Amino acid sequence: MRTPPIRRTSVILAVGLVAAACAPVSAPVSAPPSAPASSNGDQNGSLASCPVFPGDNAWNTDVSSVPVRSDSDAIINQVLADGPGFLHADFGGGGTYGIPYVTVPGTQAKVPINFTSYPGESDPGPYPVPLGAPIENGSDRHVIAIDRDNCQLYELYDATPDGDHWDAGSGATWNLRSDALRPAGWTSADAAGLPIFPGLARYDEVASGAIHHALRFTVNRTQAGYVSPARHFASSDTNPDEPAMGMRFRLKASFDLSPYHGEALVILQALKTYGMIVADNGTNFYISGAADSRWDDADLNQLKSVPGSAFEVLNTGPVTTG
C-alpha cells in the first residue's frame, strides 16, 4: 500500500463538555444558533426506519469481553506523554460545539461536489446535501446529511458552499444497511477512513438512558498504520507505541462509576460496553458528539475527571502499515 499524505490535525474548539450517540432519533431539534438549518433539511431530525449500520457492525459491537492488547499499557502511556490526559466532551455550549447533521427526504435535490484535496479517494457527487446545511465550527468543517428514505449517509470534510455546488476536501457515502468498508488506504470525510455519524454521541440516545455503539475520539499523535474498520492513516510516525487509527479504547470495568450521574454516566457506561475508536488526530481523549442545544454542559463536565489511565486498548485486529 502506498503511504498516503499526512492529513490534517483537527482544531478543537470545545471548552469542556461530553456525549450521546447512534440509533434512530425520535424528534427533531432546533438548529444551534451558530449553524443555521437549511430550509430543505431537518437538522438533527428523525432517521425514520433507518438503522445506523447493521447490529453486527464494528460500531455496534459489544466489546466488554474483548481481550486487551499486550502493548496496551505502552500505548496508553505514550498517549498520556503526548498531551492532555483526561476525557473531554467536544460538544455542547448551547449547540456551538459538536458536529451537526441534517436529514433529508429521498426527493432532496442533489448538488455537485468539487473535491479539492482527495478527489481520487472521494465518492463522486452529486450529493443530496442542501447548500444551507449546517457546517461544523473549526478547521475540519464537516458536513453530514442522511437520506432518511434511502438510508444513505453523506459526509464531507472541509466543506464550503459555492454558488450551486459544494467545495470539499474529501467526501464519502455509506449505505446504512451495509457493513461495506472503504477501499484499503482510502480516507473518507475523516482521517481514519471511517464514517463520522455512527460515532457521534447524540442527545436523544443519552436522554433515553443508553448508548448502543462506540464513540469517535481523537488523540494528539498517531502512528503510520490503521486497524480495521479504519482504512487510512494520517502520520509518518513509525513508533509502535503511538495509537493507530481505528484502535479501540475501553473504559476499564474496574473504574468506579458511582460518583457520576445523568448524561456523563450514560456516556461512561457506553465506554465500558462499546468503547471509543481513534478516528483523527486532535486533542487527546476528546469525544465527538452531535451539535445540540439541549446538552447540559455542567453535567457533561463530569467527564473531565476521568483520566486517560482509566482506559485500555483492545485487541481488535492487526495494524496495517504502509
Q: Is the peptide bond before 126 cis (omega within 30 degrees of 0)?
A: yes
Q: Report residue 40's pLDDT band, with 50, 70 and 90 as the boundaries.
A: low
- Between CA 126 and CA 129 the distance in angstroms is 9
The answer to whether residue 242 sits within a structural domain is yes
The answer to whether residue 214 sits within a structural domain is yes
The answer to whether residue 144 sits within a structural domain is no
pTM over cut 0.85: yes
Average pLDDT over residues 183-206: 98
The 102-104 sheet, strands edge to edge: 42-43, 102-104, 143-147, 152-157, 170-175
The answer to whether residue 27 sits within a structural domain is no
Q: What is the pLDDT of residue 45?
A: 84
The answer to whether residue 150 sits within a structural domain is no
The answer to whether residue 211 sits within a structural domain is yes
Residue 49 is part of which domain span? Answer: 44-100+181-321
Q: Is the pLDDT of residue 148 over 70?
A: yes
The answer to whether residue 154 sits within a structural domain is no
Q: Is the pLDDT of residue 262 over 70?
A: yes
Domain count within the chain:
1
Tell me the pLDDT tens digit for each residue of 209-261. Answer: 999 999 999 999 999 999 999 999 999 999 999 999 999 999 999 999 999 99
The answer to whether residue 155 sits within a structural domain is no
Q: Is the peptide bond before 229 cis (omega within 30 degrees of 0)?
A: yes
Q: Is the pLDDT of residue 17 over 90?
A: no
Q: Is the pLDDT of residue 110 over 90?
A: yes
